[in-house]
Amino acid sequence: DAKTTQPPSMDCAEGRAANLPCNHSTISGNEYVYWYRQIHSQGPQYIIHGLKNNETNEMASLIITEDRKSSTLILPHATLRDTAVYYCIVRVAGGTASKLTFGTGTRLQVTL
């Protein structure tokens, strides 16, 4: 699975959009980009994933560059409850098990 690079921390004002970047320059054509987050002491929570098209769900939007070497997770109106560590993970779909390799992620702090 491709390695990802994320900034260790970011701040965002409540109500503003939070844009979390991720670099995955060695991504292969059959690898998806997944985003998870972990709120303090809780189990990680799936947010969104995509292959090459931009994706949106009720939680967030995922923007993947045309060359697929980087992506951005967008939380359109961040709230205090979005304070968490966000993990960007790249992996192939399918296979015998969808093993995930977590890095250290980006710690997002949402402030008033």
97 near other proteins, rule: CB under 8 A: yes
Q: How far apart are CA 88 and CA 24, in angstroms?
A: 9
Q: How far is the CB of 66 from other proteins (least distance, A)?
A: 21
Nearer to other proteins, 29 or 43 (CB): 43
Q: Which of 8, 29, 40, 43 binds other proteins (CB under 8 A)?
A: 43
39 near other proteins, rule: CB under 8 A: no
Question: What pairs with residue 65 in β-bridges?
Answer: none
Q: Which of 14, 44, 52, 72 binds other proteins (CB under 8 A)?
A: 44
Between the two ends of the chain, the Cα-to-Cα distance in Å is: 38
Torsion region of 11: left, alpha or beta (phi above 0 gives left; psi -120 to 50 gives alpha)? beta
45 near other proteins, rule: CB under 8 A: yes
